[in-house]
Structure 1
C-alpha cells in the first residue's frame, strides 16, 4: 500500500491573504467561530484571543509538522532512513533520503504552502489585535504570542529554503500582482525579521507560571532567539539568553529525571518543556497532528498477521545507532529495536511487536510513539494526540554549551554537557571540545527534527563537517546546493517567474 499523499496547490492569492480564518477560545474544545473582522475585535475583548488561538491551531496541520515534515527533517538527515517498504514513497520520501529531491516533489510544495498560510494567518491577527477592545497589556501579550509564532514559521522556512518572500502584513487586494511581494528576500532580511519579532516577544510575553499551559512564554521566546543567534554564530547573544534561562530559572525549568518520559503523555508540558505544539481530544477528534505518529509507527512485513502501528517511515539509521556510547539510556528511549523470535519487542506500555520476520524494518522512532492503551486518544489513530516538543531545557543547555565554548568559557560548557550525560547514565567528562558538544547534541536531540539543519549549520563552522557526516550515512551532500531544499516548481510558476530557484536545482 502506498501512503504518499495527494497535494493541494495554493494560489498566490491564498498564500498572501490567507484562507477563511477560524479560531476558538482554547486549543481544543470550542467550535470554530468563523471569520473575525474589525467590528468583532473592537466590540468583543475575546475576539483578539480567538484570532491568536487560530494561529496556534494551524500548527496541527499535517504539512507543517506531520508526514511531510518528517520527510524533510529526519529522513533528509543522517538520523533516519526512509523506512517502510523499498517502493513505498520512493519518488518523494526516497528523494529526501538520498538528497536528490527535485522542485516537482509535491511534499515540498505542501510544506511551503502551509507555512505561508500560517504566516498569512499571523499577519491577519497582527493587523487586528491593535484594534481590540482588550487592554494594552493584553494586546501586547497577544501580539507577542503571534510574533513568536510568525518568527518560528519564518525560521523553519529560511532553514528549509534560504531566502523566501518576506510578507509582514496583509497587503491591499489591489497589490496582488505586485512582483515585490512575490520575490525572495535575502536570508539576512528574513533573519532580521525573525529577530525583531522574537525581541518583541521576549519583552511582552509573561513567564510560564503566569500564563495558560501551551502558550508562548518569555523563556520560549528567549530560547528561540538564542537558537536563531546560534545559527548566525552570534555566540555572545546565544550565551546571554540561555544563561539567563538556566541561572534565573525563568518560569522554573528543570531536566526531567527520566529521559524516556519526555515524549510520553506524562512528560507533556513538563518542567523541561519550554514550548510544545499542543494536542488533545475534542468533539471533532482533530486536535492533533495528522498521521505524525502513524507515519512513523512499526509496520507489518514478512509473515504479517498482526495489527501494525503505522506506515514505518523515518527509521533510525545505523549512523545514529553507532553514535551512542555504551549504557547511554537515550538509545533505548529513542529507538524501538525489533527483536528476534520468539519474544519480539515489548514496548513500555506492554504492547508486543512480533519478531523481525513479521515486521518490515529493524528499527523505529520511539519518540514518535503514542500508546493506544495507556495514553489518551479519541479512537482515531490518524489523529493520536501527541504533543510535539519544539523547545526544551535540554536543548537550551546545548546551545549554552556551544556558545560558551566558542567564547572560550569551557567551564560552563563542561557543566552543561555533564548535566545531560549524568541523566543519560554516562560518566561526566573532565574536558570538553566542540566535537564532544556536537556529539552530545546529536544523541540528546536525535529524531527531534533538527539534525539536518544542525549539520548545515555546523558545516559553516567547520568546513567538511556535513559532507563527511552524510557520506558516512551513504549520502552525497553537495556544497552550494544541499544546504537547502528546492523552491517548489509550482510556486515559481504561480509567481510568473518572480521566484527564483536555489542553485543546483
Structure 2
C-alpha cells in the first residue's frame, strides 16, 4: 500500500516499447527506504496533509466548499442538486448513512501510523527532523480523530498499523467511547507540545506549536459543551461524563491563554475602515491573525471560490452560487446598538418601504464585509438584487417594470436584477471573495482557508472562562473582537452574547453547524424550520425598497435529537460487525 502511495507521488518511468514494459521491473520506491530520504519523507507527509479534511473541495468546480455552512443554515448552494444542499434535504437513517457529511479517516490514520512506526528507525534523517515529522503526524492523526468524533462520537481508536494476520479483535475493533477519543486527542496534543519549538509555521500550512494549542483549545471546548449540555448514551459511545466538564473547560482555557500570552498573534487591524479591515483579513494572507491555514495557489493548487461566489452581472462564468439565508442576517446587530432582530419579520410587508443603507449598511461591519445586498459596491460597479422597479413615468402614472433598463438620476438602472441573484434569497456570500479577481476562472483562485485564527482563540477563551466563572476575562475577550469590528462594547458576558458573537465573527467559516450541535440547540434552528430569503422591489421615486420574505428552500429542515450524531453506514458495519450503531437509528 505504501509503495503505491510513493509511486503515485513520484510517478513511474514510461518505457518506450511493449517488450521493455513486459520485461522491466516496475520502478516503485520501496517503503523500506522512504524514511531514508528527506525528499521522499516530505512527499509522504505532504500526501497526508493533502488528505486531511480542512475544507471540502470536492464536487464539480469545488461546489462542496459550502458544505458545512449549508448544513448549518448560514448559506445554501444555488441549486438543490448540488451536494451541500442535500446535507439538509436528505433523510438520516441507518440505511442512508451519513451521506455527504461522512468522514471515516482511517486511510490517513494508517499512513500516519506507518510513519510513526518507521521513521524513528531511519539511519539517514537527523533526530530533530524525525521529531518534527513525528509531531506533525501525531497532530494530523489527532485532527482526523477530531473530525470523526464530532460526527459519530466514539469511533475505533487505532494507533498502530493493522496487518492481515492480526487477531480478529484488532482487525475488527470496537468503538472507543466518545470521552476516550477526546482524551486521546488531548493527551496526544499535550505530549507533542512538550517538544515543539516556539516558532510559527502554521500560516504557511505546516503544523506548529500554536496549531496544536488551537486544536487542543477547540476540541476541549467541544468535549466540555457535550458534557454540560448533552447526555451519555450507549454505554458511553456517545456523550461526556458530567464530572469531566470542568477539566475540559480548563484545558481549553489554558490552551487559549497560552496562545494569547505568547504575543505571537494579534487581531488583524491594518485598515481604519472596519469593513475594509474585515474584508482584507481573509485576503492579506500570512497576517498576524492566522494560526494555521490550508494554503492554496492558483494553478498549482487552486480553487473556484471566486468563480462560484461572484454575483451575476460581473465576469464570473458560474456566479451567484452561495445565497445567504435571512435567518443568518438577523444575527448581525447594528452599529448604533439596535439588535438585528429589532426589525420584526411582521414589518416586512408590501405596504412598507425601507432605506437600504439603514436596513443593511448600518449593520455590523462584519456583515457588510461578508454579505452582498442591494447596491453593494463591487469591482467599480453595483451588485443588484431587486426583482422589479416602480416609478412614475413621463405620463405621471406609477408603473412597475421587471425588464429593460431605466434611468436613475441620469445613470442606467436595470429594472430587475439578473435572475440568478434573486432566485433563492436575494443575498449572496461575500466573505473571502477577492475583488481584485475581475475575471475569475474555475480552479484559479488562491485564497487560503484559515483552519485556526486568533479570533477563534479569543472566542474559545471567552466561552471557557465564562463557564469557569471568570466572567470578567470572558467580557474582555469578547470586547476585543467587538472593538476591532467597530461595534458597541458589551457590559457583561452572557451565554447568549458569547454564542451570538461567535456566530457573527466566524460566520460562513464552517463552524456554526458544529457549534449548534455541541450546544445541543441545533433543533431550535434546524428542525421544522423553513428558512427565509428576501424579495426586493425598488421604488425609484422614493429611493427605497419594499422588502418582503419568501421561503428560501423547497422544504422544511429536519433535525431530530438523534442527529447530534450521524449514523454509521451499513457498509461500514458490514465490514466491521463489531461497530455499534448510534442511538436513534
The alignment's TM-score, normalised by the length of structure 2, stands at 0.68
Which of 141, 147, 150 does residue 138 from structure 2 map onto? 147
Structure 2 partner of 1:318: 326
CA deviation map 1:278-327 (0-9, x unaligned) = 1114xxx3524x55665x52576xxxx87545475553221110000113
How many equivalent pairs are there?
A: 448
| Alpha-carbon contact 1:145-1:205 (below 8 Å) kept | no
Matches for 1:35-114 after TM superposition, within 5 Å: 37-42=31-36, 44-59=37-52, 63=56, 70=65, 72-80=67-75, 82-85=76-79, 87-89=80-82, 92-98=83-89, 100-102=91-93, 108=99, 111-113=102-104
The aligned counterpart of 1:423 is 484
Q: Give the 3 Å change call, closer, same or farther, for CA 354–161 of structure 1 in structure 2.
A: same
SS at 2:369 equivalent: helix
CA distance in 2, matches of 1:299, 1:101: 33
Q: Which residue of 2 aligns with 1:297?
A: 309
The 3-state SS of whatever aligns with 2:110 is helix
Q: Distance in 1 between matches of 2:171 and 2:133?
A: 29
- Does residue 390 of the first structure (1) align with residue 375 of the second (2)? no
1:130 aligns with 2:120: yes
Question: Does 1:449 pair with 2:510?
Answer: yes
Q: Deviation string for 1:237-267 (max 9, x for gaps)? A: 1111111111222xx1111112211222x2x
Partner residue of 2:266 out of 233, 251, 254: 254
Q: Assess if the C-alpha contact under 8 Å between 2:72 and 2:513 holds in 1.
A: yes
- Equivalence for 1:274: 291
The structure-2 alpha-carbon separation of the partners of 1:450 and 1:309, relative to structure 1 and needing over 3 Å to count, comes to farther
Q: Secondary structure at the match of 1:316?
A: coil
The CA deviation at 1:23 is 8.4
Residue in 2 that maps onto 1:335: 371
Larger relative helix fraction: 1
Query: Which has the greater radius of gyration?
Result: 2
Of 388-397 and 427-436, deviating more is 427-436
| Structure 1 spans left out of the alignment, 5+ residues | 1-13, 26-32, 460-464
- Structure 2 residue matching 1:194: 3-state secondary structure: helix
- Alpha-carbon offset, residue 37 of structure 1: 1.9
User: More strand per residue: 1 or 2?
Assistant: 2
Q: State whether residues 466 and 474 of structure 2, in contact with CA within 8 Å, keep that contact through their aligned partners in structure 1.
A: yes
**C-alpha separation between the residues in 2 aligned to 1:351 and 1:116?**
49
Change (3 A) 1:60 1:24: farther
3-state DSSP of counterpart to 2:165: helix
Distance 1:269 1:23 in 2: 30
8 Å contact from structure 1 (residues 398, 437) kept in 2: yes
Cα distance in 1 for partners of 2:3, 2:501 equals 41
Q: Do the aligned partners of residues 221 and 60 (structure 1) sit closer, same or farther apart at CA in structure 2, a change above 3 Å counting?
A: closer
Match of 2:249 in 1: 235
Partners of 1:71 and 1:96 within 8 A in 2:
no
Give the deviation of 1:229 after TM superposition. 1.1
Alignment of 1:362-377 (within 5 A): 362-370=426-434, 373=437
Change (3 A) 1:140 1:181: farther
* 1:216 equivalenced with 2:226 (yes/no): no
Question: How much is the aligned-residue C-alpha RMSD, in angstroms?
Answer: 3.4
- Provide structure 2 residue ranges, at least 5 long, that are not aligned to the other structure: 11-26, 225-247, 270-276, 335-362, 386-416, 531-556
2:274 aligned residue: none
Cα displacement (A) at 1:102: 4.4
| Structure 1 length-normalised TM | 0.78
SS at match of 2:291: strand
